[in-house]
Copies of this chain bind each other. A is one copy, B any other.
Amino acid sequence: MKRVFTFLALLMLFIFNGNAQSNDSLMIKKISDEIFMNGTAYSNLKYLCKRVGPRLSGSAGAALAVEQTARMLREAGADTVYLQSCMVPHWVRGDKEVGNATLTDGKKINLNIVALGNAVGTPAKGITAEVVEVKNFKELEALGADKVRGKIVFYNYRMDPRYINTFQAYGDAGVYRGAGPSRAAALGAIGVIVRTLSPVLDDNPHTGATRYEEGKPKIPAVAISTNGAVELSNLIAAQKVKSIYFKTNCQMLEDVESFNVIGELRGAELPDEIITVGGHLDSWDLAEGAHDDGTGCVQSIEVIRSLKSLGIRPKRTIRAVMFMNEENGLRGGTQYAEVAKKENKKFIMGLESDAGGFTPRGFGYTASLSQSAIIEKWQPLFVPYGALEFKRGGGGADIGPLRSLGTALIGLNPDSQRYMDLHHAKTDVFEAVSERELNLGAVVMTAMVYLVAQYGL
């Protein structure tokens, strides 16, 4: 009898689960139809790119972006929209950089460069020195201080095309942008040129933050376009380069106040359980910040809009957050977690979209084993939308600090092939975003948020 009972209980559980999944599947289809028919992510992105434009922390663009995404969240139907204050670094590029190589025959070749973010500028007259090219840190250390002192170090490390996921290639090559200046300065270099982090050969230098090491001299640092790097390397190999000159005009000013922008859909049953979904509002100054990360912002707003528009009142509270200062400080994400620690609430899940507005491939998550198991149980619901690659590990920079509260972190993983072509470069513009890819990302983000809001983790 007991076994029969167990069997019946299992059968009912099976039927119940089956029904639940089937209802969820229908609900996700409704969400998808709503977003593809009436979505506003694309028009919001157009506004953010074309009317607001670049929005580096501390800039007028960032302030306007705060104001305008707050408006978008209100129009999306958020119950509450508010700003969360945080102090942010205020780095400015100043006038456009100039650089050239003087050749042994007296000719000058222009260098297509931009200052790295957070870098110090050169003196007003620029810097001029001999150049030493290295492929990597090993080669730099092998040269030693004798051969580096007083020189400009040129890190010519090519992004390795053999990584299928371009974020891995970015991580591999990114150390030269991040740590390159301090490593060279430690050996007495007076400036650094880093090959642009891009898999394509073109004339667009990509910026991005560098990180000076405490206690090392801060030296000026620029990125050179990939074509420029190849040309310079060829000239150096032919022993044709006499000296390098460059002038940058950037500086780090005093911190200023800025804001995370937050819009809530209050939970009907468990309002103190918070689901955070977001992207970052700041962007580098060279471009419109379309894929990085306008798309993550407008997708997060679309989560609120689509659920509201469908009349879905979530059981738990959903917060769309536009994080400030991901690019050169992470102050917004840090501040959000600091405030969260003081709120008497449960931050059960954070979902971030900050890998571009490309077609979604799946999710990566950092969560407990039991939470991961719940997330993975939902995987079949995402198969019809192509977001079927569920992988342990991942999350997002801005939601990262929430991990200390035990929050499950989930990162949207869009296809990575094209992201690094335009990342931090002037080509990261609205026109590079596909409306359907953007919307499909918003669909699977909304679906994931919906499931966590209804079932918890």
Q: Which of A84-92, A232-240, A263-271, A435-443 contacts B (4 or more CB under 8 A)?
A: A435-443
A170 interface contact, C-beta 8 A: no
A361 interface contact, C-beta 8 A: yes
State whether A415 touches B386 (Cβ < 8 A).
Answer: yes
A36 interface contact, C-beta 8 A: yes
A18 interface contact, C-beta 8 A: no
| A331 to B: closest C-beta gap in Å | 33
Q: Which of A166, A418, A436, A440 has the most CB of B within 10 A?
A: A436
Given contacts A164-B385, A418-B437, 8 further A-B contacts (CB under 8 A): A33-B162, A164-B384, A164-B386, A199-B436, A388-B388, A388-B389, A417-B434, A417-B440
List, in ascending order, chain B residues with CB within 8 A of A4's CB: none
State whether A162 touches B37 (Cβ < 8 A).
Answer: yes
Contact with B along A158-187 (1 / 0, CB 8 A): 000110101000000000000000000000
A418→B358 CA distance, assembly (Å): 10
State whether A166 touches B415 (Cβ < 8 A).
Answer: no
A248 interface contact, C-beta 8 A: no
A249 interface contact, C-beta 8 A: no
| A446 to B: closest C-beta gap in Å | 14
A418→B437 CA distance, assembly (Å): 8
| A428 to B: closest C-beta gap in Å | 15
A32 interface contact, C-beta 8 A: yes
Q: Which of chain B's residues has its CB closest to A29's CB?
A: B162
List, in ascending order, chain B residues with CB within 8 A of A384's CB: 164
A199→B389 CA distance, assembly (Å): 26
With A162-B37, A359-B417 in contact, do A435 and B200 touch (Cβ < 8 Å)? Answer: yes
| Chain A to chain B: the 7 pairs with minimum beta-carbon distance, closest first | A36-B161, A417-B436, A417-B437, A33-B162, A359-B415, A418-B434, A359-B417
Contact with B along A382-413 (1 / 0, CB 8 A): 00111011000000000000000000000000
| A42 to B: closest C-beta gap in Å | 10
List, in ascending order, chain B residues with CB within 8 A of A434's CB: 417-418, 421
Considering only CB atoms and an 8 Å cut-off, how many residues of chain A contact the other chain? 26
| A8 to B: closest C-beta gap in Å | 35
Q: Which of A33, A200, A417, A437 has the most CB of B within 10 A?
A: A417
State whether A162 touches B36 (Cβ < 8 A).
Answer: yes
Q: Which of chain B's residues has its CB closest to A201's CB?
A: B435
State whether B436 touches A166 (Cβ < 8 A).
Answer: yes
A162→B31 CA distance, assembly (Å): 10
List, in ascending order, chain B residues with CB within 8 A of A389's CB: 386, 388
A37→B32 CA distance, assembly (Å): 39
A389→B417 CA distance, assembly (Å): 18
A361→B389 CA distance, assembly (Å): 11
With A434-B418, A434-B421 in contact, do A440 and B164 touch (Cβ < 8 Å)? Answer: yes
List, in ascending order, chain B residues with CB within 8 A of A440's CB: 164, 417
Q: Which of A200, A361, A388, A415 has the most CB of B within 10 A?
A: A415
A415→B164 CA distance, assembly (Å): 16
State whether B359 touches A386 (Cβ < 8 A).
Answer: no
| A404 to B: closest C-beta gap in Å | 33
State whether B161 touches A37 (Cβ < 8 A).
Answer: yes
